Chains A and B, each alone.
Chain A
């Protein structure tokens, strides 16, 4: 056998290391992905020892969009909620990361509390919480914060500020969802904090010597350096909100596929869902990457 050059050897090692994922991607991801696209155009019948496909063209899509009464409203609602939540999550987690990056006593404790939602913020426990009787009761009795921050008091306050109506409804909606937003921000805070810590302190010192205020160095140093991380976090938050276990659309697609309406229609819904996710991500990345600043 001919001896490989060092470069070829390295390339081969690289392939060997990545091989598990290449195999897995082809068999457990790409193949089912393509199959899903095919299934969405078929009616699927389970027969003895396997299944058969009956080609129905766009029938499944037509059914999901025009016959099914719950799919379109749930779809729209899920997307609106995502549009509402993601900016709030990004703003909050950026702010929280800056807060946690300060040096103060009890910082470690504060950090471990802020990251706690990473552990608790997903799955069944969260879903149970939302309908829990005890929680609503305790919230009513203990939440002076809630009554001050939401409802008529806040609306009046915002009215007096004379801010535009749309912005006002947005703020009110967000404030209503403050606990959800804070609890969806764990990983984003973690990522932002890691980014903030990677900025070298000498940049700020130089800016200070040049007479820049803290405000200026935030806009001219922190924000540009953090911009790729903001983009990454926006993408992560969008994906996270789409995949959340308590996402109504997800639950609905699932119950459609395995109960009643059939595999084909459920898969067609899933394909449309994926299409919409892809479009949203592409648009967001295209718009945001114009503002992203890369070092080097």
Chain B
């Protein structure tokens, strides 16, 4: 009697575990499907020729896969040029943002000084103000750049150069830079204090301690900050069109159907959609590649990144 009761309990435990895992599996597959759906649509339609579009039997997998969509997208977007421009700018900005947010985050996390909380509040404040509000002053300041009268003359025209991006990235006030400062500060706050003290006792200065002791263990957080900085710069069309020109990937992509119409001297919503999808694939492929290489930092070591402290 006793035995069967135990057995029954064990069985009901196992069956509830089983039903939980089935439930979980269904949910995860369903949500993954919703997330992957737009990517799959893009992949599928970017290889699809026009004649498969009219074919009722073709749904996801094109019958006559073609690279023509890509060829046309590359040509009309002037892809090699805009790709290199975007790549260079995004790398530069992400790197400089990483440097500035690491340095500032460390300063805010590990040293006591008056006004520290004020600076932290300022970093949060930069996140809350919509850039659209300051668009006009920013535009004018870079157009007639003289640091509010600190530089002589009528001011330099920095529009159309990388300077606005470089200067804001170096000083931690670039796109969403406040967030990266917070992430790095959060990480450094969680490091044990005696690590630093040991280095000081051994005669290392603050800078040396920072570079030799603190930075190596901050790699996961730094990878995430770099990745975010890169992705946001890569996708940004607001500041690039404001400060620079349209020779960057996001802008070229959003103008693609208009340029196609001019290039082919015709308009065809269905056909253009295929080519725009090929263009979108060209834009997200580098991000997917980067994500694939770096994703272990996301999925395995979140607990070490100090996103939450």
Contact = CB atoms under 8 A, between A and B. Distances in A.
Contacts of A118: 228, 231, 298
B259 interface: no
B253 A124 contact: yes
Given A123-B236, A124-B237, A20 B41 contact: no
B173 interface: yes
- Which of A133, A145, A190 has the most B CB atoms < 10 Å from its CB? A133
A94 interface: no
Interface residues of B, number: 98
Contacts of B107: 13-18
Chain B interface, DSSP helix/strand/loop, else mixed: helix
Interface string B112-154: 1110100100110011111111111110110010011000001
Interface in B203-221: 206, 210
A194 B308 contact: yes
A195 B37 CA distance: 29
Given A122-B232, A122-B235, A133 B270 contact: yes
A33 B107 CA distance: 25
A25 B104 CA distance: 12
Q: Which interface residue of B132, B138, B170, B300 has the most chain A CB atoms within 10 A?
A: B132
A254 B135 contact: yes
A194 B30 contact: no
A80 interface: no
A213 to B, nearest CB: 13
Contacts of B235: 122-125, 245
Interface string A96-134: 100100101010101111111111101111011100111
A59 to B, nearest CB: 16
Contact of A36 (B111, B113, B126, B133): B133
Given A20-B104, A39-B136, A194-B302, A239 B127 contact: yes
A142 to B, nearest CB: 7
A18 B119 contact: yes
A120 B128 CA distance: 22
A138 B41 contact: yes
